[in-house]
Amino acid sequence: MQDRKNQTGRFLQRVEKKPVDSVAITLDAPYGGGKTTAFWKWMNDVASGGNKVLFISLEEHPASVLYQEKFQKYIDPQNYDHLDDVGEIENKQELYDLVSGYDAVFIDSWQKLLEQVGRNFRFDRDLRKKFDGKMFFVIFQRTTTGKMRGGADTAFDGDIIVKIEKGDDFAQNFAWQDKNRYTMVPIHTIKYNIARGKTYIEGHNDQEIEPKPENHDSILDSPVIS
């Protein structure tokens, strides 16, 4: 079995810890594409780097059996202390108070968040630019026509836009990048297999990965392509 270590970092590439503003990553997929599974695996990998992670789980409450099953399945025991969760947000100020104490924040989903903090809440103004040095992962639902709900402005403002290509079965579902400001290789050469939690890059194998440069301040303990 191939080592899954740092597969999220390899997929996202050399993501900086911004001195001003934060990095925003969006994920949308067709029904059954595996966006929730990808989210859990990415959370575990980010926590493995020693980052404090907050999961704002608005689709499945943390007290539910379904949530607890996923937690036990996808989160390594050594990462338990690095991951906190919340199942509801009262208002925008509560969101801000929560986010301030974490390195990375995962939100499932954007539409549910708007229902709780208000429809005038803006992805770029009220999230990405509200904080410095954080990483936001946000799931967006798709419309019946296959477009990302929340729309064109969000796709423009996100630093990394991830989508999922659904195969004939779950093992063939791959995440790919429609946009990535931090990639070191062409984004069309990168794909992430949801079921395996494995990143594939055309023309590069695992032995060609080098540690991140010492002067690179990254929120992920991630390897980059040399």
Cα-based angle 80, 70, 93 (whole degrees, multiple of 5): 65
d(CA 79, CA 225): 26
Output 152 or 93, whichever has higher pLDDT: 93
Burial of 142 (0-12, 13-18, 19+ CB in 10 A): middle
Backbone phi and psi for residue 65, each to the nearest 5 degrees, phi listed first = -65, -40
Nearest to 220 by CA among 23, 3, 49: 49
**Element housing 36 (H / E):** helix 35-48
How many angstroms separate the first and last alpha carbons of the chain?
24
Q: What is the mean pLDDT of residues 4-31?
A: 91
Output 80 or 154, whichever has higher pLDDT: 80
Instruction: Report how far Cα 139 is from the mean position of its chain's Cα atoms.
Output: 8
Nearest to 44 by CA among 187, 223, 220: 220
Q: How confident is the model over 183-194, as pLDDT tens digits?
A: 999 999 999 999
pLDDT of residue 203: 85
Q: What's the pTM?
A: 0.89
Domains of the chain and CATH, by start: 7-205 (3.40.50.300)
**Any residues with CB less than 8 A from the CB of 210 and at least 6 apart, and which?**
223, 224, 225, 226
pLDDT at 121 over 90: yes
**Confidence tier at 6 by pLDDT (50, 70, 90):** confident
Q: How confident is the model over 131-172, as pLDDT tens digits?
A: 999 999 999 987 665 666 555 566 678 999 999 999 999 999
pLDDT of residue 146: 61
Nearest to 148 by CA among 30, 11, 56: 30
Nearest to 27 by CA among 175, 201, 143: 175
Q: What is the mean pLDDT of residues 89-98?
A: 97
d(CA 136, CA 54): 10
Tracing tokens 């067709």 back to the chain, one arrives at: 30
Written as six digits, the tokens of 5 are 């270590």
**Element housing 138 (H / E):** strand 135-140
Q: What is the mean pLDDT of residues 34-49?
A: 96
Q: What is the mean pLDDT of residues 118-137?
A: 96
